[in-house]
Each structure stands twice: as structure tokens, then as C-alpha cells.
Amino acid sequence: MSDGNDQGLFGVKGTGDTSGFGGLVRQPSSAFELVSTPEPLGGYFDEVLAALRELLGEDVARAVVVDRGELTIHIAPDRTEEVCKTLRDDESLRFELCDAVSGVDYPDQRNRLHVVYHLTSMTYRRRIRLETAVGLENPVVHSVTSVYPTADWQEREAYDMFGVVFEGHPHLTRILMPDDWEGHPQRKDYPLGGIAVEYKDGAHIPPPDERRAYK
């Protein structure tokens, strides 16, 4: 009897999967239910969270998760700019650097498109993450480029690859794919191959289960 887990990479099973992920086991979505870590969190995490709540209200965090010694604060998509500005400017926080903006797709979740901001305080030698999530019907997140200019191209990549629309971005266009490209290649339901390759007329990439496997 099946335990509900999906086997293989994006459902690919059996012969021909040369990706190396044929043995991947993906647990059902219920296993990924977002649950806050009980407080106190420990270390500087409590200080950061208390400062944010004092400055922006008790509802600023939708969830707070500590995993593997790292703090992730989940916030609403229309508050990213506000929260980042507070984290950067408040003297007790001083998260001056946005290291990275990452897109993630959890296709089994209603709000499947996640955006993750990796922030560093060089003043206090601290690191945290912010995370927000939107659905396909309204994939809009407030841009943080006015706070962290280095987020410019990274937000464009998340738009290009995942289809997240960053409201307030100064020039939200594709950055990796051609302007007229259809779809967003890093969504989990995007086809793995079987599409035309532009740099060679007539070229074709077969899906993983049709590629040649070397044994």
C-alpha cells in the first residue's frame, strides 16, 4: 500500500532518468504544514522578533520558524518593503545587507510561490530570513529594491523563473529568458525538455524518461 509519498524527480520513474534524482522521495504536502517554533526562540532571535513586533505590531509575523539553528520570519506579501526598511534602519536591528532573493515553488500548497529574502546585519554579525507566499491567481509581492538596490536583478530572476510580480520594481522584465518566452521555467509543473532550443534550428530536448541512460 502506498504511503502517499511521490517517488522520483517530478514524477519521473523507471528507465531513462539521467538526472540522478530517480530515488528522490517527496512527502505529501500535509507534512509541510507551517507551524511556528514555540517561544522563547533562543539567542538573538527573540531580540529581533521583539523589536519587529514593537515597531510594526504583533501581527507582523504570520509564523516564526527556527530550523537547523536558523530563523525564518514569514510575513504578508504586501509588507515586505515595510519590514525590510525597519530591519535595515532601526538601530537595534541594522540588517544592512540583502544577500539574496530566492524563489521557491511548492505546487501542493494553495499559495505555492514563495519568495525568500536572506538578510545580514554586518553591525551585529547576525543573519535571518524573511519569507512570503502568494498564489498563482495573484502572485504580487512588494518590491524591496527601494530598500536594498541589490535586490533589483534578483527580483527580476524570481519574476522570470517563477512568475512572481514585484510591485514597485523599477524595470520588471525577464533577465534570463527572451522577452517573448512563454512560461516560467523553475515552476515545478514546467516541462522537463521537449521544447525547441532557440540557438539551433530544429533542436529538441526530450523529456528525462526518453533520454539515453548510461549504465
Terminal-residue alpha carbon distance, the chain: 30
**Please, what sign has the CA dihedral across residues 16, 18, 21, 26?**
negative
pLDDT in tens, 132-164: 999 999 999 999 999 999 999 999 999 999 999
pLDDT band at 1 (very low <50, low <70, confident <90, very high): very low
The phi and psi torsions of 65 (rounded to 5 degrees) equal -125, 130
pLDDT over 70 (residue 3) = no
Cα–Cα distance, 87 to 110 (Å, whole number): 28
Beta-carbon count within 10 A of 88 CB: 18
* CB neighbour burial string for 24-50, b if at least 16 within 10 angstroms, e if fewer: eebeeeeeeeeeeeeeebeeebeebbe
CATH topology of domain 35-189: Beta Polymerase; domain 2 (3.30.460)
Cα–Cα distance, 48 to 50 (Å, whole number): 6
Task: Yes or no: say if 177 and 160 are a contact pair by the CB < 8 Å rule.
Answer: yes
DSSP state letters, 90-132: -TTT---EEEEEEEEE-TTSSS-EEEEEEEEETTTTEEEEEEE
How high is the pLDDT of residue 75? Answer: 98
* CB neighbour burial string for 126-135, b if at least 16 within 10 angstroms, e if fewer: bebbbbbbbe
Residue 26's H or E segment, with its range, is strand 25-26
Provide the H-helix boundaries in the chain.
45-56, 80-89, 151-162
How high is the pLDDT of residue 45? Answer: 98
Q: Please indicate whether residue 203 or residue 69 has the higher confidence score (pLDDT).
A: 69
pLDDT over 70 (residue 10) = no
Task: Yes or no: say if 135 and 187 are a contact pair by the CB < 8 Å rule.
Answer: no
**Average pLDDT over every residue of 43-56:** 97
Residue 158 gets the label, from left (phi > 0), alpha (psi -120 to 50) or beta, of alpha
pLDDT in tens, 79-91: 999 999 999 999 9
Cα–Cα distance, 20 to 37 (Å, whole number): 34
pLDDT in tens, 162-207: 999 999 999 999 999 988 888 999 999 988 766 666 655 666 667 7
> What DSSP designation does 43 have?
T
